Amino acid sequence: MIDFNRPHFTGRELKYIQQAVVDNHKISGNGLFTKQCQRFFEEKYGFKKCLLTTSCTDALEMAAILCDIQPGDEVIVPSYTFVSSALAFVRAGAKIVFADSMERNPDIDAGKIEELITSRTKAIVPVHYAGVACDMDRIMEIAERYGLIVVEDAAQSIDSFYKGRPLGSIGHLAAFSFHETKNIISGEGGLLAINDERFIRRAEIIWEKGTNRAEFFRGEVNKYGWCDTGSSFLPSEVIAAFLWAQLEDMTAIQDKRKALWMQYFNLLKPLADKGFFRLPDIPDYATNNAHMFYLVCNSIEERSALIKCLKENDIQAVFHYLSLHSSPFYRDKHDGRSLPYCDLFADCLVRLPMYYDLTETDVDRVCHQIGSFFKIDGRC
């Protein structure tokens, strides 16, 4: 069986966890490994301040608190995304105004954001789908003109760039995921990147259950107490130690994934040129971090048949998001606009196996099977 995803271990995770437990005598949060991971991101990507979290969802919830969302405030979110991009703001009381994807790729259509802005709009949440950048210059220009906060949902975007700038460094705030399906993993895990300095102090307090404990441990105050809202957003040192083992191997992990991605692209291009499906589109302003390899089929029927055929041949391929604007939880609250490109990707996109330990032979086999499926008119 070729799985859709298999978590990769560098081999040093247990050593570092043992170091946290035995040498550092610290397994609760905000210890040496947490600080080391946070510094890694601040130095490598120029994020002003980083805080590890227990998930990207948690980092988004922190962002929603920092945006000071009040009931009735509006937040613009693409409908083609994971639930958390919207849920974090809904929990803070926001109304979500869903935006459509572009025709060329699932990212938010920056050209259609301005028409969604009202006097209640507080924030925009661009999601860099598959680690491919949204058009951030246009989004930041609109946000500046209307005084809005931009929260990059960079869950899939580690080590990817927009016009040479790291994703996660452009918006006021950004959230990353280290869930086991991502390029760099810690099982569950996330990171809040804070690029606008006005949010830093409050973010640290929200992170530590509404207390100024981080300032206390730095010796900046002589006691700590309850200052604000918050939660227990910080992960234990066990998670951070695991993550450090992964971060050390980031270059090797990225290089291997990119090689597999290119292999898929080159083998499948002749079929895409014949019109059987579309391949991922990477705009000139964006890089590819090889988080995902997907195809866009010509219909939902063809996609279902392809997934079934691959499964029958021991290859696990999967579709992705369902449109959030027509989800059972939100359809009654959505304003009724149709979002055709979001629906197109919800119906027709299929993700192929992609992980560090996938082999070139595996990729050959997946592509060969896709080739035979289309050459006999979509039958298995």
Tell me the angle at which helices 237-247 and 32-45 cross, rounded to the nearest 10 degrees: 40
211 binds ligand PLP per the rule CB under 6 A = no
User: Would strands 95-99 and 74-78 be described as parallel, antiparallel, or unpaired?
Assistant: parallel
121 binds ligand PLP per the rule CB under 6 A = no
246 binds ligand PLP per the rule CB under 6 A = no
Q: How far is the CB of 38 from ligand PLP (least distance, A)?
A: 17
| Helices of type H across the chain | 13-18, 32-45, 56-66, 83-91, 136-146, 200-207, 213-217, 237-247, 250-273, 300-312, 340-348, 360-375
d(CA 149, CA 146): 9
Alpha-carbon distances, residue 213 vs 60, 203, 227, 359 (angstroms): 21, 12, 10, 47
**Which residues in the 11-40 window bind ligand PLP by CB under 6 A?**
none
Closer to ligand PLP by CB, 80 or 373: give it.
80
Burial readout 192-210 (b: 16 or more C-beta within 10 A, e: otherwise): bbbbeeebebbbbbbbbeb
Judge whether 96 and 122 are in contact, CB under 8 Å.
no
Among 34, 121, 177, 236, binds ligand PLP (CB under 6 A): 177
Interacting span for ligand PLP (CB under 6 A) from 148-156, 206-214, 331-339, 359-367: 148-156
Closest to 168 measured CA to CA, from 84, 94, 86, 59: 59
Please measure the distance between the N-terminal and C-terminal CA atoms of the chain and give it in whole angstroms: 17
Interacting span for ligand PLP (CB under 6 A) from 96-104, 150-158, 311-319, 358-366: 150-158
Q: How far is the CB of 273 from ligand PLP (least distance, A)?
A: 30
Among 190, 235, 280, 353, binds ligand PLP (CB under 6 A): 190
Closer to ligand PLP by CB, 156 or 369: give it.
156
Closer to ligand PLP by CB, 56 or 349: give it.
56
DSSP characters over 64-92 = HHHTT--TT-EEEEESSS-HHHHHHHHHT
d(CA 31, CA 18): 14
Closer to ligand PLP by CB, 57 or 263: give it.
57
186 binds ligand PLP per the rule CB under 6 A = no
Q: How far is the CB of 84 from ligand PLP (least distance, A)?
A: 4
Closer to ligand PLP by CB, 173 or 370: give it.
173
Interacting span for ligand PLP (CB under 6 A) from 51-59, 142-150, 298-306, 323-331: 51-59
Closer to ligand PLP by CB, 276 or 321: give it.
321
**Cβ contacts of 190 within 8 Å, gap of 6 or more:** 52, 53, 54, 55, 56, 57, 58, 59, 155, 175, 176, 177, 178, 179
Closer to ligand PLP by CB, 213 or 291: give it.
291
55 binds ligand PLP per the rule CB under 6 A = yes
x/- letters, 67..106, toward ligand PLP (CB under 6 A): --------------xx-xx---------------------
d(CA 130, CA 282): 10
323 binds ligand PLP per the rule CB under 6 A = no
Q: How far is the CB of 278 from ligand PLP (least distance, A)?
A: 21
Task: Break the chain down into helix, strand, coil percent, rounded to 5.
Answer: 40, 15, 45
Total interface residues for ligand PLP by CB under 6 A: 14
Q: How far is the CB of 119 from ligand PLP (least distance, A)?
A: 28
| Positions that interact with ligand PLP (CB under 6 A) | 55-57, 81-82, 84-85, 127, 153, 155-156, 177, 179, 190
